[in-house]
Amino acid sequence: MFDGWTNKKRHCICNFLVNSPQAIIFLSSVDTSNMSKTADKVFEILDAIVERIGEENVVQVVTDNAANYKTMGQLLIEKRKSFFLTPCVAHCIDLILEDFEKKLEVHQVTIAKGRRITSYIYSRTILISMLRHFTKRRDLIRHAAT
């Protein structure tokens, strides 16, 4: 699995992880701040990772849905016929929800109201305390790994 992100210092990082029945393991990361993330360049980076761990140890590659990753996936499948390419489900759902918000007015209104209510509650300690009491310590907003 791999995914790109930008840290607080505006460095673009590409992380590579291995998923097995035992665990998800961090393999390596590449600072991609000074390079163009074209499909060819992303393919070159991923192909080097595959060479490092051995093609026989890879079955599936999971990426996000950006156009460069889709094209990279086609290049990868052409070179390595036994691989499966899968878009990240969390990224797919995130894109669907973004489309709902942008394209359906009823969702725009609902999401805007939800944000206002959430901001109001989380800016007042007494309301946070009451929320946690009545929801058995559950929060409205919860950060989670995707």
Q: Tell me the percentage of the chain whose pLDDT exceeds 70.
A: 97
Q: pLDDT at position 143, please?
A: 63
Q: Residue 1 and residue 22: Cα distance in Å, rounded?
A: 15
In a shared domain, residues 38 and 110 = no
CA distance from start to end of the chain: 12
Q: Is residue 35 in some structural domain?
A: yes
Number of domains in the chain: 2
**Which of 12, 17, 7 lies closest to 68 in space, CA to CA?**
12
Q: pLDDT at position 123, please?
A: 94
Q: Is residue 98 in some structural domain?
A: no
**pTM value surpassing 0.85:** no
Helical segments of 7-60, H only: 39-53
Confidence tier at 121 by pLDDT (50, 70, 90):
very high
86 vs 141, which has greater pLDDT?
86
Q: pLDDT at position 14, please?
A: 87
In a shared domain, residues 76 and 110 = no
Decide if pLDDT at 145 tops 70: no
Give the domain range for residue 73.
Answer: 2-92
In a shared domain, residues 19 and 70 = yes
Q: What is the mean pLDDT of residues 17-45?
A: 88
User: Residue 121 burial by CB count (10 A; 0-12/13-18/19+): exposed, middle or buried?
Assistant: middle
Decide if pLDDT at 146 tops 60: no
